[in-house]
């Protein structure tokens, strides 16, 4: 007998604060939430779609990613998955690189990656289903950008981004902020002749003008347009040399460091 087919999973975009995205992964009945910085929009989305919360997934300790957890736990007795080494007391299931979880209540298997840089203990979750590859990366990789280095080093962040860039091209990138257009402006400043970048500016600009998110993107799109994943690109290196930020022949880590420092004040 053929086993019953599991319900298909969907990802709901839940905007919060000024530019955060909280993600609700659901099967039409049960749901897990990623990085619930605010409980109110999560609660509203659950009610609007008649969903029951069965798990909370956290990527790092910043308040806009964990602030809603206590209020959600007051209403739903669910496990809290999160980084082992990022100082989040509410985590009941601590995770590190190489762990694999099955999210309670929904047919979702996720692999865990350590991606330090933005914070020292930051993790990401990867769904490797060939029919639906997903990445929940918090504040490590953004649309056309990457997170600030609040705790980690440039070398750590560069290694984390390289690990994410090695995922299959079709992987959907569910990051936690709508920073894409400002990141694209910086990308154009350092990689202005990139035709893939020009096309993305047009497409994502149209999405924002229509009130739609630019996220998720894909790993393929990020590799083609995100300067922080293109540290060996000759045009980007030339832009940094022209700006006096690196010398000719700079190594990729020097290029990454210079890009991140430039973006901090762009």
Give me the active site residues, please. 60, 62, 64-65, 118, 139, 177
Helix, strand, coil abundance in the chain, percent, nearest 5: 35, 25, 40
Tokens of 115: 């991606």
HSE (side-chain half, CA atoms, 13 Å) at 205: 9
Interstrand relation of 80-83 and 109-114 (parallel, antiparallel or unpaired): unpaired
Q: How far is Cα 68 from Cα 33, in angstroms, rounded to an integer?
A: 11
Alpha helices (H) in 178-225, listed in sequence order: 180-190, 195-209, 219-225
Structure tokens at 40: 């109110």
Count CB-CB contacts under 10 A for residue 13.
Answer: 15
Q: Sheet harboring 20-26: ordered strands across?
A: 10-16, 20-26, 30-34, 52-57, 80-83, 93-95
What DSSP element (H or E) covers 145?
Answer: strand 145-146
Q: Are 53 and 32 in contact (CB under 8 A)?
A: yes
């Amino acid at each position: 007998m053929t086993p019953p087919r599991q319900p298909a999973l969907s990802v709901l975009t839940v905007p919060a604060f000024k530019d955060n995205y909280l993600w609700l992964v659901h099967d039409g009945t049960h749901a897990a939430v990623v990085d619930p910085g605010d409980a109110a929009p999560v609660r509203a989305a659950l009610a609007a779609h008649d969903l029951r919360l069965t798990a909370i997934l956290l990527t790092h300790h910043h308040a806009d990613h964990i602030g809603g957890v206590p209020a959600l736990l007051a209403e739903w007795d669910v496990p809290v998955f999160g980084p082992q080494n990022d100082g989040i007391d509410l985590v009941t299931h601590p995770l590190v690189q190489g762990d694999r979880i099955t999210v309670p209540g929904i047919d979702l298997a996720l692999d865990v990656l350590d991606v330090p840089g933005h914070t020292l203990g930051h993790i990401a979750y990867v769904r490797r289903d060939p029919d639906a590859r997903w990445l929940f990366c918090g504040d490590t990789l953004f649309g056309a950008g990457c997170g600030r280095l609040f705790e980690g080093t440039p070398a750590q962040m560069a290694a984390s981004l390289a690990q994410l860039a090695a995922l299959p091209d079709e992987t959907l990138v569910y990051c936690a902020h709508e920073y894409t257009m400002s990141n694209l402006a910086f990308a154009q400043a350092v990689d202005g002749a990139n035709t893939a970048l020009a096309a993305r500016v047009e497409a994502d600009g149209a999405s924002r003008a229509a009130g739609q998110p630019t996220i998720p993107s894909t790993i393929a799109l990020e590799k083609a347009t995100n300067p922080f994943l293109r540290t060996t690109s000759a045009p980007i290196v030339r832009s940094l040399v022209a700006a006096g930020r690196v010398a000719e022949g700079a190594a990729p880590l020097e290029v990454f460091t210079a890009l991140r420092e430039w973006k901090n004040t762009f």
